[in-house]
Structure 1
Amino acid sequence: MSATTTTTNGAGAARATDPAGVVEAFLAAMEAGDVDAAVALLDDDIAYTNVSLPTIHGRRGVERLARLVFDRLGMHFRVVVHGIAVEGDVVLTERTDALGLGRFEQRFWVCGRFEVRDGRITVWRDYFDWADITVSLLRGALGAVVPALNRRWPSGG
């Protein structure tokens, strides 16, 4: 984990302000399904891209997507960060992410690029491999019936 500077938000809660700390807090909030805490770390004008898919612009757009995934669909999210690198306001992550619903869980690798300014994420761009996504989808579906067929979860998660 990174050295973290904290400040208080309007509600008096402490939050990380260094770029790596902001990204780690964001991913932890997503994993906890805490949309309010995750969205609080986003800039109003964020650009969120899963490379090769359309970009979502603005905090409200990202919040709508998160509320659809977590609140309406009832999905869960897990993450293991294998590596994190920071240069200035840019944070790179190498991760294993999982999206799940009930017994189904799709586990796949992701490389993420975040830009953080003034304690808020302004750019969130995830890179992944469509072949890996397809295999993880099939393994997740089969793993819902026979759990041993799903991709193993990396240690540390």
Structure 2
Amino acid sequence: MSADTPLAIAQSFLKAMEPLDYDTALKLVAPDCTYINPPPIGAVTGPAGIRAVLEPFFAPTLENEFRILRAAVSGDVVCLERLDRHKLADKWVELPVTGIFEIHDGLITYWRDYFDAATILNQWPRG
């Protein structure tokens, strides 16, 4: 598989996010990328918007793992069924997620994650 295929780019993005390497991960994101999460999180735009959502959310994590269970690709669209695992100080939290990525010219231009927000918020530290 070529390193610049849509699937490889989506996988590289998630791999960089496991150790929370925002700088590396966000180099794979277009300046006008739309990132959408279920309510109450909602939508943001661009690398700065994505970082503003993810950085505070992942602050309590000691380790992350994004297990790709299934992948489907159609042209520039990548669908990834994942099990997102987050190690907190006292436990692992797991969240089933389906993510849709659109990749154009080697950059993620659209990212939408589907998950049950209550599943993660009920397990997450209150801050």
- 1:113 corresponds in structure 2 to 100
TM-score when scaled to structure 1? Answer: 0.69
Deviation track 1:9-34 (CA, whole Å, cap 9, x = no partner) reads xxxxxxx3210000000010011221
* 2:32 aligned partner: 45
Q: Which residue does the alignment assign to 1:61? A: 49
Distance 1:105 1:40 in 2: 28
**Residues 40 and 54 (structure 1), Cα distance of their counterparts in 2 relative to 1, 3 Å cut:** same
- 8 A Cα contact 2:38 2:116, kept in partner: no
| Separation in structure 2 between the aligned mates of residue 131 and residue 63 of structure 1, nearest angstrom | 22
Q: 1:133 to 1:67 in 2, by over 3 A?
A: closer
Q: Counterparts of 2:14 and 2:121 in 1: how far apart (Å)?
A: 23
Displacement of 1:63 in angstroms is: 2.1
Q: Which has the higher contact order (CA 8 A, sep 6+)?
A: 2
Q: Could you tell me which runs of 5 or more consecutive residues in structure 1 were left unpaired when the two chains were aligned.
A: 5-15, 142-157
What is the aligned length? Answer: 123
Distance 1:58 1:83 in 2: 26
- 1:33 paired to 2:39: no
Compare the two structures and name the one with the higher strand fraction. 2
Higher helix fraction: Structure 1 or Structure 2?
A: 1
Q: What is the SS of the residue equivalent to 1:77?
A: strand
Question: Is contact 2:38-2:117 (8 Å) kept?
Answer: no
Matched residue, 1:94:
81
CA apart distance, 1:100? 3.1
Partner of 1:11: none
Structure 2 gaps of 5+ residues are none
Q: Is the 8 A contact 1:35 1:66 kept in 2?
A: no
* Structure with larger Rg: 1
